[in-house]
Structure 1
């Protein structure tokens, strides 16, 4: 299984403010992100899950939360720990015929999964923004920037962990 972190990140590492994006919507970024994760399981925190209820990403959602909950969404599954989320994500990926599980945030979720991520897809949004959620720092010498693609309003960076083939 490949674990891939996907995030839109401002120049100062901000990814959110009060559960929302702190910048105006970037339709091209949302489109490429949604297309990428559409057929795969995604892992996200409870608050991020709840903020996306009207338009959930992925074919299955692993919701990492300390509190066990039932969700009114058939495709949502609770995980109480990173290990449980990884195990469940692996099972869901196999049942969906994919080898990729995407990590979609929020900030604490990215931080918890960062040591286990194989790849990162970072939409770099120009500018610095006020916020309360940040993408975690990572050691650039442990990562290889495989590709940068310029788009209107953002640059997509595709990173691979140096230990990942």
Structure 2
């Protein structure tokens, strides 16, 4: 199972503010993000799940939460931690899954993700959640795709 983090990050590592993106909407980024994760399982935290409830991404949503909950969505599954999530993902018929946030979920899964797809939004923004620091020596920048309002970076974990 290949596990891939997908995030949009400002130049100062800001991910969001008050549950929203702090920068103006970037349709090209939303489009590439939604198309990429549409046919795959996604891993997300409860608050991120709640914020996307009206338009849930992915084929299955594995929601990490300390407390079990009924999500009232047939495709949503509760997981209590990283290991439980990985077990659930292995039980699917998919060979790939995406970690889509929030900040604590990105950090929890950092040790086990194989790739990161980071939409780099130029500039610094006020925010209350940040993408975690990560050891760049453990990763290789495989590609950079410039778009008009952002650059999509693909990072691949170095294997010794």
Q: TM-score, normalised by structure 1?
A: 0.94
**Root-mean-square deviation (Å):** 1.0
After superposition, the C-alpha distances for 1:41-99 in whole angstroms (9 at most, x for unaligned) are 0000000000001111101100000000011111000001111111112223x2xxx31
Question: Which residue number corresponds to residue 140 of structure 1?
Answer: 136
Matched residue pairs, number? 160
3-state SS of 2:110 partner: helix
Paired with 2:25 and 2:91, the residues of 1 have a C-alpha distance of 33
Pairs within 5 Å for 1:3-152: 3-92=3-92, 94=93, 98-152=94-148
Paired with 1:13 and 1:91, the residues of 2 have a C-alpha distance of 33
3-state SS of 2:8 partner: strand
Residue 157 of structure 2 is aligned to residue 161 of structure 1 = yes
Paired with 1:154 and 1:59, the residues of 2 have a C-alpha distance of 27
3-state SS of 2:88 partner: helix
Paired with 1:30 and 1:122, the residues of 2 have a C-alpha distance of 12
| Unmatched runs of 5 consecutive residues or more in structure 2 | none
* Superposition misfits of 4+ residues, deviation over 4 angstroms: none
How far apart are residue 163 of structure 1 and its match? 1.3
Q: Is 130-139 or 43-52 further displaced after alignment?
A: 130-139
Q: Is 155-164 or 43-52 further displaced after alignment?
A: 155-164
Paired with 1:163 and 1:19, the residues of 2 have a C-alpha distance of 35
Asked if structure 2 preserves the Cα contact closer than 8 Å seen for 1:42 and 1:89, the reply is no
| Unmatched runs of 5 consecutive residues or more in structure 1 | none
